Structure formats: structure tokens, C-alpha cells
Amino acid sequence: MRFPVHAALVSWTGFGGIFAGNRGASAGRGYFVGFEEVDLEVGFRLSSWFMPCAFVGYQVTGNLIPGLPLQERVTYAPVAGVRVAWGRFR
């Protein structure tokens, strides 16, 4: 018998650019940041190819450039949401 519920501990790691400030007044600063997010995810297999997943977790984002890495602009935030997965679920 196949179990229709999937649970996972998920880690997302990445980097990119952000702008902090007021874009119209040119008062702000751009940053190259790195982030890490750890989520607990629960999915419910609705068919052999489709699975919606709900998740809760925590994300940390911090500057890499400019300034000392992870010193000038660091944010922490809880996260929650829904994702959908397509594939072959057996």
C-alpha cells in the first residue's frame, strides 16, 4: 500500500541582489546577499504526478558585498507557504 503523505526537512541556499531604501529618492543601498532557509514540508500526493506541499520554516539573509560579510545587513524571518510539485510519485 502506498502512503499518500510525504514529510521532509528542506534546506534552500542561494545568493542574489537586493536594494534597501527608497528607489525614487535614490536614498538607499544595493547589496549582494546570501541566504539560507530551513523548512519542514508536508505534501499530500493527490495523484501519481501531482503533490501540493505546505511548509513552515525560518530564513536568514545577510550581506556578502559591500562591507564585512554578514555584518551590515542581516535579516531573520519566519516563512510559511504552499508549493506544488509535479513528477513521478510512487
Burial class (CB in 10 A: 0-12, 13-18, 19+), 38: middle
Q: What is the DSSP letter of 77?
A: E
Q: Are 19 and 27 in contact, with CB atoms under 8 Å apart?
A: no
Could you report the per-residue pLDDT of 7-40, keeping only the tens digit for each? 999 999 999 988 877 766 666 678 889 999 999 9
What does the alpha-carbon distance between residue 71 and residue 1 come to, in Å, rounded to a whole number? 51
Could you report the per-residue pLDDT of 33-87, keeping only the tens digit for each? 999 999 999 999 988 899 999 999 999 998 888 878 878 778 899 999 999 989 8
Q: What is the DSSP letter of 82?
A: E
